Amino acid sequence: MRNPCLGVGGRKVVGPSSVARARSGSSLVRRRASGKLGPVNGTWTELPLESREKMAVKQLHNVGIVVESLDAAIAFFEELGLTLEGRAMVEGEWAGRITGLGSQRVEIAMMVTPDGHSRLELSRFLSPATVADHRSSPVNSLGYLRVMFAVDHLDETLARLRARGAELVGEVVQYENVYRLCYIRGPEGLLIGLAERIG
């Protein structure tokens, strides 16, 4: 059985975004000395205990993405190293009361990162039909736009994802001596960020 902490080919994909990292059960959240999330010259400071205890949010549970082909999206994110946690049909009046769409019928697939802390909920709407499409919008568009994954080997990951149809948006850029970063377009043009920590 494959180690659940390893991605495809034994390559580990590390949890949440490069912007904020939280370790489940340890209440560890790191913040820049300036008060903003993110590294300053690669240096992180720990948020004071009293601030952590006042937080209402425990963790980021999942990010939702609506797609046309659930099978293609699942295959792509499995190639990236995520695991299919479950697949189901969500329908009925109770679901529509949450989304505000009334009666709905949606097929969903939950993908989980190897560390078990972060999830993607992929959705394919059967009814009502989708009403907007901003998958090809540029990165400076308003609203939710992309997710970013930390990976161990950026170049190898790009090679595998290109075989699945991924395209590099700009170029791979090194941020100081801390990260190598890039954006790609994945299945159906979805915008995805990749970050390799190098320092």
Q: pTM, whole model, 2 decimals?
A: 0.71
Pick 196 or 132 by higher pLDDT. Answer: 196
Q: What is the pLDDT of residue 34?
A: 42
Question: What is the pLDDT averaged over residues 155-175?
Answer: 95
Reported confidence tier of residue 74, pLDDT bands at 50, 70, 90: very high
Note whether 16 and 22 are within 8 A (CB).
yes
Whether pLDDT at 24 is above 70: no
- Please say whether the structural domain 62-133+144-197 has been given the CATH code 3.90.1150.10: no
What is the residue-averaged pLDDT of the chain? 80
Question: What is the pLDDT averaged over residues 148-169?
Answer: 95
Distance CA 199, CA 197 (A): 6
Question: What is the pLDDT averaged over residues 83-87?
Answer: 97
Long-range contacts of 66-72 (CB under 8 A, 24+ apart): 66/123, 66/124, 66/125, 66/130, 67/122, 67/123, 67/124, 67/187, 67/188, 67/190, 68/124, 68/188, 69/124, 69/187, 69/188, 70/107, 70/109, 70/122, 70/124, 72/187, 72/188
Whether pLDDT at 162 is above 70: yes
Q: What is the pLDDT of residue 57?
A: 79
Return the structure tokens found at 75: 């295959």
Question: What is the pLDDT averaged over residues 104-128?
Answer: 95
Q: What is the pLDDT of residue 1?
A: 40
Question: What is the pLDDT averaged over residues 6-28?
Answer: 39
Pick 118 or 24 by higher pLDDT. Answer: 118
Whether pLDDT at 14 is above 50: no
Strongest mean pLDDT among 28-37, 40-49, 68-77: 68-77
Note whether 145 and 190 are within 8 A (CB).
no
Question: What is the pLDDT averaged over residues 147-164?
Answer: 95
Question: What is the pLDDT averaged over residues 149-153?
Answer: 95
Q: Where are the domains of the chain?
A: 25-53, 62-133+144-197
Distance CA 175, CA 6 (A): 26
